[in-house]
């Protein structure tokens, strides 16, 4: 791999081909996780404004993308074509066409693009709430709520030469220029977990297990593969469900990555699938796998690394090291680490992962599971509660017509305490503490509060008795800095 710099931007290149065509991707360390509830969508809007000016979004060989932690502009063509595209991207980022904001934002509101699949987003939301990686759960049609000031400030903070790296498959185009704005490398802290070693409910169609492992851990990688193999066999042979396990991985911080296993679950079988997934994870954390299991998965990983090495994967790994400070492990280093793994190493890696894991199940599911310590696995301490009575306070019920007419939600009530509003239903409640409201949106006479856990409390005039007083209480309790007007 060749390493150079162009206009202060690191350039990583792996020469291949005859030099007539080149592939390149200009990556920025900025994605949905670098936004806030208030600025959701601003990264995608910056990217879309650039492509709108270049009129290149519909050309198959030149385009852009965004996800949780990065934005990239990519092109494939002659060295001259690629150089022109990259230079145009950089110049546009230095002078965004904000006069096109209304048009572009309106189009994005219709498209509703998301950084990850909706099921993955729900799991991240359960794990992190309305913060960092959990913001993927809130991505939606809100682009027209952004202001030019938000877009300008975001671009100035993240779309700079200090937060960029260029990857090239082929020869670096001669005379290439990358005239990006100056700036400082953004500081990115590890995201806060809502809870560890618990289960949570979200809007899923299946069951998911999410956990963190150290970057480059060969033992954790093999443990992950063994768990997939065991769970697939279990749900097929014992439950009669022919469903493959889907996986997802993303960087969490410079020292760890977030891994996820997702299984589909037929309606009515969610508890059984949850028990299978969690049970196998705990079993592998308590008892080392067989040497044969380890050897089979090591052989599979070595085959991928040695026989099918990927230029793009090698460039991405080196670029992650440049952008985020993530340790870089080439294929040869990982193969050596795999060869030294023992079954005990795998068990210890899985035990550490399960100790910080969250099992996410669909709404309506009430799993009875055992944790690593042998006691019942607890539910996340945020969001829904049903095993203890709700806090005491002033009760606001639905209007009489709703209760008499047996309308849906007619038995719901809101309890006002000195520190919170508590939404109660027959079998559960959710407390929204004032000090944990990360954003209060004022929609005319209505209100929507976004809690730290990511859940929403909507207060609509007339929905509950004494609603005007509840809204005044919320307005008085949440500081102006966490409040904004919405159209």
Residue 404 in this model has a pLDDT that exceeds 80: no
Q: Which helix (H) or strand (E) holds 400?
A: helix 400-404
Distance of alpha carbon 425 from alpha carbon 413, whole angstroms:
7
Strands 164-169 and 198-202: unpaired
DSSP designation for 304: I
Look at residue 60 in the predicted model and tell me its pLDDT: 66
Look at residue 25 in the predicted model and tell me its pLDDT: 97
Task: Tell whether 389 is covered by a domain.
Answer: no
DSSP designation for 457: E
Closest CA to 443 of 403, 483, 487: 487
- Residue pair 486/447 in contact (Cβ under 8 Å)? The answer is no
Task: Tell whether 473 is covered by a domain.
Answer: yes
Residues 358 and 406 in one domain: no
Task: Tell whether 6 is covered by a domain.
Answer: yes
Q: Give the strands of the sheet with 2-6, arranged side by side.
A: 2-6, 9-14, 164-169, 22-28, 71-77, 62-66
Tell me the per-residue pLDDT of 32-59, one tens digit each, with 9 for 90 and over: 999 999 999 999 999 999 999 998 544 6
| Helix spans in 95-210 (H) | 101-111, 118-128, 148-158
In this structure, what token pair is assigned to residue 176? 């290439």
Residues 29 and 139 in one domain: yes
Domain edge (last residue) among 116, 148, 169: 169
CA 227 to chain centre: 22
- Give the mean model confidence (pLDDT) for residues 382-408: 80
Residue 234 pLDDT level (bands cut at 50, 70, 90): confident
Residues 148 and 223 in one domain: no
Residues 482 and 399 in one domain: yes
Residues 62 and 144 in one domain: yes
- Residue pair 351/219 in contact (Cβ under 8 Å)? The answer is no
Task: Tell whether 375 is covered by a domain.
Answer: no
- Residue pair 474/421 in contact (Cβ under 8 Å)? The answer is yes
- Residue pair 441/484 in contact (Cβ under 8 Å)? The answer is yes
Residue 372 pLDDT level (bands cut at 50, 70, 90): very high
Task: Tell whether 182 is covered by a domain.
Answer: no
Which range has the worst mean pLDDT, 132-136, 197-201, 347-351, 397-401? 397-401
Report the CATH number that the domain containing residue 108 is assigned in CATH: 3.30.830.10
User: How far are the Cα atoms of 220, 292, 298, 305, 352 from residue 339, in angstroms, in the given order?
Assistant: 14, 13, 7, 13, 21
Let me know the angle formed at the C-alpha of 483 by 478 and 485, rounded to the nearest 5 degrees. 140
Residues 139 and 207 in one domain: no
The mean of the pLDDT values for the chain is: 91
Q: Which helix (H) or strand (E) holds 80?
A: helix 79-94
Long-range contacts of 329-338 (CB under 8 A, 24+ apart): 329/216, 331/305, 331/306, 334/216, 334/218, 334/301, 334/305, 335/302, 335/305, 335/306, 337/216, 337/218, 338/218, 338/221, 338/222, 338/298, 338/301, 338/302, 338/305
Q: In terms of residue numbers, what domain contains 410?
A: 394-486
Residues 352 and 288 in one domain: yes
Residues 222 and 336 in one domain: yes
Q: How many domains does the chain have?
A: 3
Tell me the per-residue pLDDT of 48-105, one tens digit each, with 9 for 90 and over: 999 999 985 446 689 999 999 999 999 999 999 999 999 999 999 999 999 999 999 9
- Give the mean model confidence (pLDDT) for residues 180-200: 92
Domain edge (last residue) among 347, 362, 377: 362
Task: Tell whether 180 is covered by a domain.
Answer: no
Look at residue 118 in the predicted model and tell me its pLDDT: 92
Task: Tell whether 151 is covered by a domain.
Answer: yes
Residues 163 and 210 in one domain: no
Task: Tell whether 82 is covered by a domain.
Answer: yes
Residue 405 in this model has a pLDDT that exceeds 60: no
Residues 242 and 144 in one domain: no
Residues 153 and 232 in one domain: no
Domain edge (last residue) among 313, 340, 362: 362
Tell me the per-residue pLDDT of 440-464, one tens digit each, with 9 for 90 and over: 999 999 999 999 999 999 999 999 9
Strand-pairing partners, residue 259, are 211, 249
Tell me the per-residue pLDDT of 261-317, one tens digit each, with 9 for 90 and over: 999 888 888 899 999 999 999 999 999 999 999 999 999 888 877 665 678 888 998
Residues 358 and 428 in one domain: no
Report the CATH number that the domain containing residue 471 is assigned in CATH: 2.30.29
Residue 16 pLDDT level (bands cut at 50, 70, 90): confident
């Amino acid at each position: 791999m060749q390493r150079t710099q162009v206009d202060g931007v690191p350039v990583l290149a792996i020469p291949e081909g005859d030099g007539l065509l080149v592939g390149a991707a200009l990556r920025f360390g900025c994605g949905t996780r670098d936004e806030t509830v208030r600025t959701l969508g601003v990264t995608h809007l910056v990217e879309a404004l650039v492509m709108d000016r270049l009129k290149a979004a519909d050309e198959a060989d030149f385009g852009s993308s965004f996800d949780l932690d990065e934005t990239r502009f990519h092109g494939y063509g002659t060295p001259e074509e690629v150089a022109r595209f990259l230079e145009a991207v950089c110049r546009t980022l230095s002078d965004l066409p904000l006069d096109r904001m209304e048009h572009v934002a309106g189009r994005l509101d219709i498209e509703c693009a998301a950084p990850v699949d909706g099921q993955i987003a729900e799991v991240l939301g359960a794990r992190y709430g309305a913060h960092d990686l959990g913001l993927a759960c809130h991505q939606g049609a809100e682009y027209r709520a952004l202001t030019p000031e938000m877009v300008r400030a975001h671009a100035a903070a993240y779309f700079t030469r200090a937060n960029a790296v260029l990857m090239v498959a082929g020869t670096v185009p001669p005379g290439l220029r990358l005239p990006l704005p100056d700036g400082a490398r953004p500081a990115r802290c590890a995201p806060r977990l809502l809870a560890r070693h618990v289960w949570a409910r979200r809007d899923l169609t299946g069951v998911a297990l999410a956990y963190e492992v150290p970057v480059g851990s060969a033992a954790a990688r093999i443990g992950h593969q063994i768990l997939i193999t065991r769970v697939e066999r279990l749900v097929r042979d014992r439950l009669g469900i022919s469903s493959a396990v889907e996986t997802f991985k993303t960087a969490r911080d410079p020292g760890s990555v977030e891994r996820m296993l997702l299984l589909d679950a037929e309606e009515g079988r969610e508890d059984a699938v949850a028990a299978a997934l969690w049970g196998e994870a705990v079993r592998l954390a308590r008892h080392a796998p067989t040497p044969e299991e380890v050897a089979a998965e090591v052989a599979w990983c070595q085959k991928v690394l040695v026989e099918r090495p990927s230029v793009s994967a090698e460039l991405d790994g080196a670029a992650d090291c440049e952008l985020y400070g993530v340790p870089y492990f080439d294929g040869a280093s990982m193969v050596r680490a795999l060869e030294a793994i023992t079954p005990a190493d795998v068990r210890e890696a899985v035990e550490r992962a399960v100790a910080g894991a969250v099992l996410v199940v669909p709404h309506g599911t009430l799993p009875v599971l055992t944790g690593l310590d042998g006691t019942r696995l607890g539910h996340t301490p945020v969001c829904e509660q049903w095993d203890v009575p709700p806090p005491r306070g002033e009760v606001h019920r639905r209007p009489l017509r709703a209760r008499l007419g047996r309308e849906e939600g007619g038995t719901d009530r809101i309890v006002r305490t000195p520190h919170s509003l508590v939404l109660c239903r027959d079998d559960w409640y959710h407390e929204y503490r004032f000090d944990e409201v990360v954003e209060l949106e004022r929609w005319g006479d209505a209100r929507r509060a976004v809690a730290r856990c990511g859940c929403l409390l909507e207060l609509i005039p007339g929905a509950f008795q004494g609603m005007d007083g509840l809204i005044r209480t919320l307005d008085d309790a949440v500081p102006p800095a966490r409040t904004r007007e919405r159209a």
